[in-house]
């Protein structure tokens, strides 16, 4: 590692200052546009109400109350929609000029693609969510090699639609966070799913058998299901189970793991969307750089945390290469 987070912040200060100037200018512009759009609209709305209903209705307390509320709603909708498009452009610039430098500092052979991610097909086949998503987005792909182990991860937001109690269509998250994929150091043919010990299980595990293991700390955290009991025990050695417990404690998130197609897949929940430019917060903020720098380090270190570079077993490298090339989508 060439620099610590403070040195990296100073190294990136020039592009950060350029992005900050654009962010502040954009915010002022959007506020002026929104106010300039909403006030005339409110006047027109008031005039229409007065024309249709007469002066008596126009001066009604309910009308007087509702017109400002309607104006604020219109103003907020316009500002939100325009903010999303503008922020996306600023975030792309931030990712290309700053986040890419973070990765270069951590991993010499690493590649960062803000407009690529893990394919829907691969994510869905991983069985790490209870249902097939109705909406799926993936971005901010990082890929590279640590030792002999290929890995990649990206942010994913998978949702399902449902009908609420009011009869309207709504959306809820199936998964939001990082999806980590690494070449595993053993050959295997089946699927092994490691879920958090929870009441509601993934529907996909109904096709599998429960695998009981002898590590109390691991069994307390996880339930294991597999298509092959013998293979699941072969994959989950006592040492690897200890490492999964330690990884879960280190990340402080409820991770879910799946072994499939020669790879180990790890779903790491996150509430926020990382590597973005906040419109209302200054980009000259070392804490943001420190947080995102530490986040990338944590994800890259999973290869070493799980000791995936130990290659005492023969491994079909062609199968691994084919699997890795099929996980990414533009």
pLDDT of residue 98: 94
Is the predicted pLDDT of residue 199 greater than 50, yes or no? Answer: no
Residue of 30, 44, 35, 32 lying closest to 72 (CA atoms): 35
pTM, rounded to two decimals: 0.83
pLDDT over 90 at 66, yes or no: no
Helix (H, G, I), strand (E, B) or coil at 141: strand
Instruction: Please indicate whether residue 41 or residue 258 has the higher confidence score (pLDDT).
Output: 258
Give per-residue pLDDT as tens, 88-116.
889 999 999 999 999 998 998 999 999 99
Comparison of pLDDT for 128 and 156, the residue scoring more = 156
- Residue 105 has φ and ψ, to the nearest 5°, of -75, -25
Which residues have a Cβ under 8 Å from the Cβ of 303 and sit 6 or more positions away?
Answer: 146, 147, 149, 151, 182, 309
**Residue 182: pLDDT over 80:** yes
Nearest to 114 by CA among 142, 86, 153: 142
Say which DSSP state 207 is in: G
3 state DSSP class of 244: helix
Per DSSP, the three-state class of 213 is coil
CA distance 289 to 271: 18
Beta-bridge partners for 146: 149
Share of the chain above pLDDT 70, in %: 75
């Amino acid at each position: 590692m060439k620099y610590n987070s403070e040195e990296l912040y100073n190294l990136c200060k020039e592009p950060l200052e350029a992005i900050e100037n654009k962010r502040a200018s954009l915010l002022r512009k959007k506020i002026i546009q929104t106010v300039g759009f909403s006030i005339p609209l409110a006047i027109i709305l008031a005039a229409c109400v007065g024309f249709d209903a007469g002066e008596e209705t126009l001066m009604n307390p309910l009308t007087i109350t509702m017109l400002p509320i309607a104006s604020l709603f219109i103003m907020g909708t316009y500002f939100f929609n325009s903010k999303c498009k503008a922020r996306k452009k600023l975030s792309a610039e931030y990712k290309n000029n700053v986040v890419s430098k973070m990765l270069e500092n951590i991993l010499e052979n690493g590649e960062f693609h803000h407009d690529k991610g893990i394919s829907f097909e691969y994510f869905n086949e991983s069985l790490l969510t209870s249902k097939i998503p109705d909406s799926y987005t993936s971005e901010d792909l990082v890929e590279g090699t640590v030792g002999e182990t290929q890995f990649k991860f990206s942010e994913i937001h998978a949702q399902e639609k449902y009908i609420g109690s009011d009869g309207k269509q709504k959306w809820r998250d199936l998964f939001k966070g990082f999806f980590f994929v690494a070449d595993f150091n053993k050959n295997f043919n089946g699927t092994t799913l490691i879920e958090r010990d929870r009441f509601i299980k993934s529907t996909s595990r109904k096709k599998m058998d429960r695998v009981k293991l002898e590590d109390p700390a691991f069994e307390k955290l996880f339930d294991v299901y597999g298509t092959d009991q013998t293979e699941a025990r072969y994959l989950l050695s006592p040492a690897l189970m200890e490492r999964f417990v330690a990884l879960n404690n280190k990340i402080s998130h409820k991770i879910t793991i799946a072994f499939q197609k020669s790879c180990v897949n790890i779903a790491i929940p996150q509430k926020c969307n990382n590597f973005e430019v906040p419109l209302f917060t200054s980009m000259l903020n070392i804490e943001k750089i420190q947080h995102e720098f530490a986040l990338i380090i944590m994800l890259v270190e999973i290869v070493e945390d799980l000791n995936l570079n130990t290659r005492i077993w023969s491994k079909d490298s062609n199968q691994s290469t084919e699997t890795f090339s099929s996980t990414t989508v533009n």
